[in-house]
Structure 1
Amino acid sequence: MGSRKPADGQPDTTAFAPVDDLSRRILAVLQDDGRADLTAVAKACGTSLPTVARRVERLIADDLLRVAVIPELGSHGPVETLMAQIVCQPGTQVSVAQKLVVRQDVRFAALVAGSYDIVLELVVEAELSGYPRAMLEIQSIPGIERWHSDLVLHVYKISHHWKKPDRGTTDDADYPFARTMCDPSHLDGTDLAILDVLQKDGRASFKSIAAGLGVNESTVRRRFERMTNNGCALVVTIVPPAALGLRALTLMTVNVEPRKLDDVAGTLARHPSVRYLAATLGGSTLMCEVVAESTKGLFEFSKSTLATLDGVVDWAGSLELVTLKRAFVETPWWRTRLATSKAPLTP
């Protein structure tokens, strides 16, 4: 399940084989609620608890599933978000990526094909020194040749739920997207300690967390529910879209007539192929992440949506080769997929 087997019997780590129907249903439930009780997952999928337990354990072991609970933006103070595009010296992309993914201020990072080698989303302190400090640190990483960054002004949509888009359908559930900013005063030391455990293992039981922190299980449960209900914590389920048959993941910059910016953004945000959409400072530009089953589906999106949308001037795209980090969480599969690279991969 999830890994292709070449003739020599060794797994092919360069690609994901789509999972079967039951695993897809399990992943769909866990994308809606990564901490869902397995009994509820079994009921929703029409199978037994032991079967679901085995499947979830296997999905995690195969690097096809990771659940994490992350603090929402603002939990440590006011922040700004920037999108950065990086060109690396030939052969240094993997070593640069390793330096980037361990940074706590990197929320998203991917190796891409196109004019740039790496695209990342950087979350910095809102004070004036926050961005220059991060920029200088990152630009000093050996192998980085060129850097371009842009301030994110407004996020129209963000979703980590992968699903196959149905032609002609809309995705109104994710739009309009209300960006949540958490005030640091809403979290104390115990809250942060709980989140620290759940960021490493989003399905850790309240009982085990309580035992580790020396508090009551009811205290952990109550604090977790308060943090999620108040928008200070977010449960994220990380799944490779290719395992669900979605193999064309693309980052696009869409140039728009200034007076049509909101109209174009509203239409794109409702499109089921669009998983992320934001306006940036550098002109009337939208940064867009698009997911499709294949390059044919990507062409269909370009031809039938972008090319016909009133207000769109032009666009450019970079195919995501490997997603390194999403929602501050390192993807569990990227190191395995690049293990054949000449650059050494360190833990």
Structure 2
Amino acid sequence: MPAETETTTPDALDRRIMSALQFDGRASFRRIAQALGSSEQTVARRYRRLREAGILRVVVLPDPRASRESLFVRIRTAPGAAEPIGSALARRPDVSWVTLAAAGTEVMCALRADDPRDRDELVLKNLPRLSQVTDVSTASLLHVFAETGLQEWQGFDARLDAQEIAALGARSRRHVPVRRTADEPGLTPDDDALLAPLAADGRISYAALAAATGRNESAVARRVEALLERGMLFVDVEVAYALIGFRTAATLWLTVAPADIHRVGSEIALHPEVGFVGAVSGPASLVVAVTCRDTADLYRYITERLAPITAIRQHEVTVTVRHLKQAGTVMNGDRLPRLSPSVARPARG
């Protein structure tokens, strides 16, 4: 079978490995194997197979909260115009993800605006000039609900139990509180050389990262660990959900009274179907990313999980038609980019 059409169906151990990585994407294969009762070689082989098949990838990215402003941009278009506009947005380095929704007439993207001039150029000038664009709206990201350490999609059939999580000894590297002091700046131009290899393979070893950047290994390790500890970078585990049977993704825009925003956001962040919850500006109070098996599963989530939360006054559901960009990398259809042998180097540990 040609490589481009070959598929991999993850079994129970594959899914347990994926769950373990969601707690710490840079955990060593040895530590994961000990927690799951498997061998280091088996875990490493399974991980590489999932990565090469475009099902799973671990990346280390700048935390959007470390940017001056992070925006969700919703662009409504004439029929047939959403995909080319979305593809153009996906090529921008300051856009981290792009989806098509609403039967292909709406583009949604996340924009990191370190320089307000870049934001204004796109939102106030470039997009409104396009005749195919009928409406543009934005919402600023105010807060990410991730303090529990579980703020990652947990919809796998083989979730880890408390004993396995304890054995893993994992600490979440996903959206730790941002800590920056006046004498401790965030990302600097000197960090740019580190960001590209980490975005390609978040499990790259410090030795390989040092070789890629021409720097001292211990200095590279100290810098990356410091940026992770201070919340300037975070570890993200990206999954091609459709390839493992979860084919319905949606964005929910929820309206909640100000007094209830934090409580409701923290509660929703624990739902296994949820991969992201953020407080935002605009008519809605919360934006929620949900991944379900199908539309019936999404309906059950809305009517059985969200319905009891009486503080939710209003909701809007936007079903994703297609992912164009995910975690800063352009998608290849339903797949994540395949792992290049040159970056297939696991984190040491």
Q: TM-score range by the shorter chain?
A: 0.7 to 0.9
Aligned partner of 2:101 in structure 1 is: 112
Deviations 1:302-343 (A, max 9, x none): 22233332232232211123333334x215443769xxxxxx
Deviation at 1:289, TM superposition (A): 1.6
Contact residue 55 and residue 335 of structure 2 kept, 8 A: no
Amino acid across the alignment from 1:334: G
Deviation at 1:53, TM superposition (A): 3.1
Deviation at 1:244, TM superposition (A): 4.0
Aligned partner of 1:94 in structure 2 is: 83
Aligned partner of 1:330 in structure 2 is: 329
Q: Does the alignment pair 1:148 with 2:137?
A: yes
**Distance in 2 (alpha carbons) for counterparts of 1:99 and 1:249:** 22
SS at match of 1:271: coil
**Distance in 2 (alpha carbons) for counterparts of 1:152 and 1:237:** 21
Contact residue 153 and residue 278 of structure 1 kept, 8 A: yes
Deviation at 1:186, TM superposition (A): 4.3
Aligned partner of 2:168 in structure 1 is: none
SS at match of 2:237: strand
Contact residue 114 and residue 318 of structure 1 kept, 8 A: no
Aligned partner of 2:200 in structure 1 is: 200
Deviations 1:78-99 (A, max 9, x none): 5112221122332333322221
Amino acid across the alignment from 1:132: D
**Distance in 2 (alpha carbons) for counterparts of 1:295 and 1:334:** 20
Deviations 1:243-264 (A, max 9, x none): 4443332111122345544443
Aligned partner of 2:273 in structure 1 is: 273
Deviations 1:280-305 (A, max 9, x none): 32235322222333323222222223
Sort the Cα spacing of 1:204 and 1:140 in 2 relative to 1 into closer, same or farther, 3 A: farther
SS at match of 2:193: helix
Contact residue 72 and residue 181 of structure 1 kept, 8 A: no
**Distance in 1 (alpha carbons) for counterparts of 2:268 and 2:19:** 23
Amino acid across the alignment from 1:11: T
Deviation at 1:54, TM superposition (A): 2.8
Aligned partner of 1:180 in structure 2 is: 178
Sort the Cα spacing of 1:253 and 1:63 in 2 relative to 1 into closer, same or farther, 3 A: same
Counting aligned pairs with the same residue, the percent is 27
Sort the Cα spacing of 1:35 and 1:311 in 2 relative to 1 into closer, same or farther, 3 A: closer
Amino acid across the alignment from 1:282: G
Deviations 1:158-211 (A, max 9, x none): 944443489xxxxxx99xx86526577244554332223212222222222222
Aligned partner of 1:214 in structure 2 is: 214
Unpaired segments ≥5 residues, structure 1: 167-172, 338-347
Aligned partner of 1:49 in structure 2 is: 40
Aligned partner of 1:25 in structure 2 is: 16
**Distance in 1 (alpha carbons) for counterparts of 2:318 and 2:115:** 29
How many equivalent residue pairs? 316
Instruction: Give the root-mean-square deviation of aligned CA atoms.
Output: 3.5
Deviation at 1:214, TM superposition (A): 2.8
**Distance in 2 (alpha carbons) for counterparts of 1:187 and 1:118:** 29
Aligned partner of 2:49 in structure 1 is: 58
Contact residue 238 and residue 331 of structure 1 kept, 8 A: no
Sort the Cα spacing of 1:53 and 1:285 in 2 relative to 1 into closer, same or farther, 3 A: closer
SS at match of 2:138: strand
**Distance in 1 (alpha carbons) for counterparts of 2:261 and 2:97:** 24
TM value normalised by structure 1 = 0.76
Q: Greater CA deviation, 222-231 or 48-57?
A: 48-57
**Distance in 2 (alpha carbons) for counterparts of 1:138 and 1:182:** 34
Amino acid across the alignment from 2:50: L
**Distance in 2 (alpha carbons) for counterparts of 1:152 and 1:188:** 22
Sort the Cα spacing of 1:156 and 1:336 in 2 relative to 1 into closer, same or farther, 3 A: closer
**Distance in 2 (alpha carbons) for counterparts of 1:53 and 1:283:** 46
Q: Aligned ranges for residues 332-347 of structure 1 at < 5 Å?
A: 332-334=331-333
Sort the Cα spacing of 1:280 and 1:226 in 2 relative to 1 into closer, same or farther, 3 A: closer
Amino acid across the alignment from 2:329: E
Contact residue 154 and residue 272 of structure 2 kept, 8 A: no
Amino acid across the alignment from 2:92: R
Sort the Cα spacing of 1:307 and 1:132 in 2 relative to 1 into closer, same or farther, 3 A: same
Aligned partner of 1:344 in structure 2 is: none
TM value normalised by structure 2 = 0.76
**Distance in 2 (alpha carbons) for counterparts of 1:10 and 1:219:** 39
